[in-house]
Chain A
């Protein structure tokens, strides 16, 4: 069974067609990069997978069952600005907040919850900083907090929304290695990114999206310039194409 299977997905936002006939699949062990220009529908696609937006047609199957909010098979890592970083909360409490839905009303965190949080912090190597207020973290550390928060549910699918944006190269490399090893441990990882270099370098497969899926394949198989000009709407002489050829 596929971790994630999307078939004929159409999504409209405010009466405007954002996604049309999107087909894609994701297996465990894969690290797939979702590339496309601004407004291509990348975040909308992630929201459709989480069942946070209504769809016009098509279906989204998570481990063979239709997606709905609150399913813990999916770990979601939103863009960093979605999180209120000036909130007076420690790293481990922020990670624990990822289990709020799982715990249910009127429950307090128990031993299994703290164990999951501890494992997630270990996994992203934030154990030493677990008591630090989240407001005092660097960009890379914040991204790792959000990844740990998603991992605290022990998900099988990880959705990452632009995890590299605004981070320097060493931090990107660090995170890239983390995502690769998470895929190696059997997670199915899908990440949107604008960072072509990081995507080509770390992903096992790339999806080019602009309203619909324009290409789907191993980075080495996506050398055709037309795919990239079509996806990003750039000219033949764009530096983007030089970058693609160089990789």
Chain B
């Protein structure tokens, strides 16, 4: 299908679900891209996985009670995030084990609850792998509003989150409320996951959180740039993924994630400074011109620190 056909379908009133799905996919990918930067930099991918699974029982309850899936998922996810934060204060069992316990426990609860609903098999697949049909108009506003709140909080607490990622002990010494900042960050991750569930699905939502941010990290050494690149990569993946999914009739969540994965692999190979192929090409070129001049754009890190830069 050509891009013109896709555009025609987008504005076709009979296919009103398509632009809605596109808007939600792009909005949630952008939010996940931004929040994902902290997740990737702090090495908390496993927590992201845990809350992604933990929202499942909430969604199941909401489904059984015919309530808002986004709201149900948010409540369950936030509750689990709080439980993880509180239980990890006990240092006898490590945080990753605590996360593992709650991750599987919550998912099991979700399966038991949803099995009580008649005709659950179809809806189960929808939760797990995402869908572009059947999105109520209300969700459009809920996702947009929640996304704006998340981005606002990130903007407001950015320097505190950075300090926390850099050095927890120092953050405590500075008098920052480390425990509460942890909780806010967990809750932000949860909300970002919840608003992405509709189109991407429960299993694959982690990719939206991790992959764009990880690709952005490969492309830059500057946090500000990374936090602009990640949502750009996420949003592009959602747009291209939905287009491909619509054209070739593939599952939407899987297609979006595959596009993001392809971007990540491309970044891994071709990143300007740290890419695998880029480095190899530079080395080949360096060998040819080794006796001419040494590349000055790449600092030579093997050289020890210059001791002549003495201190006054």
Contacts and interface: CB of A to CB of B under 8 A. Distances in A.
A83 B263 CA distance: 30
A168 B306 CA distance: 12
A151 interface: no
Residue with the greatest number of chain B CB neighbours at <10 A, chosen from A88, A94, A98 = A88
B118 interface: no
Interface stretch (A22-30, A171-179, A193-201, A204-212): A171-179
B162 A138 contact: no
B226 A88 contact: yes
Given A100-B176, A101-B171, A138-B305, 18 more contacts: A50-B172, A69-B173, A69-B174, A70-B176, A78-B167, A82-B168, A88-B41, A88-B220, A88-B222, A89-B222, A93-B162, A101-B174, A101-B176, A125-B310, A133-B222, A138-B304, A168-B304, A181-B311
B166 A94 contact: yes
B159 A174 contact: no
B170 interface: yes
B134 interface: no
A83 B167 contact: yes
Given A87-B41, A140-B305, A76 B165 contact: no
A93 B170 CA distance: 15
Interface in B86-130: none
Interface string B160-192: 101101111111111110000000000000000
18 contacts: A52-B172, A68-B175, A69-B175, A82-B170, A83-B166, A87-B41, A87-B223, A88-B222, A93-B162, A93-B223, A97-B162, A101-B176, A105-B160, A124-B311, A139-B305, A140-B305, A170-B307, A178-B311
Contacts of A52: 169, 172-173
Instruction: Determine the interface band of chain B, counting residues with CB < 8 A from chain A.
Output: 20 to 34
A84 interface: yes
Interface string A30-72: 0000000000000000000010100000000000000011110
B301 interface: yes
Nearest to A176: B311
B312 A97 contact: no
Interface residues of A, number: 45
B13 interface: no
Given A82-B169, A87-B41, A89-B162, A101 B311 contact: no
Contacts of A149: 170
Nearest to B155: A106
Interface string B210-231: 0000000100111100100000
Nearest to A132: B299
A37 to B, nearest CB: 22
Nearest to B172: A52
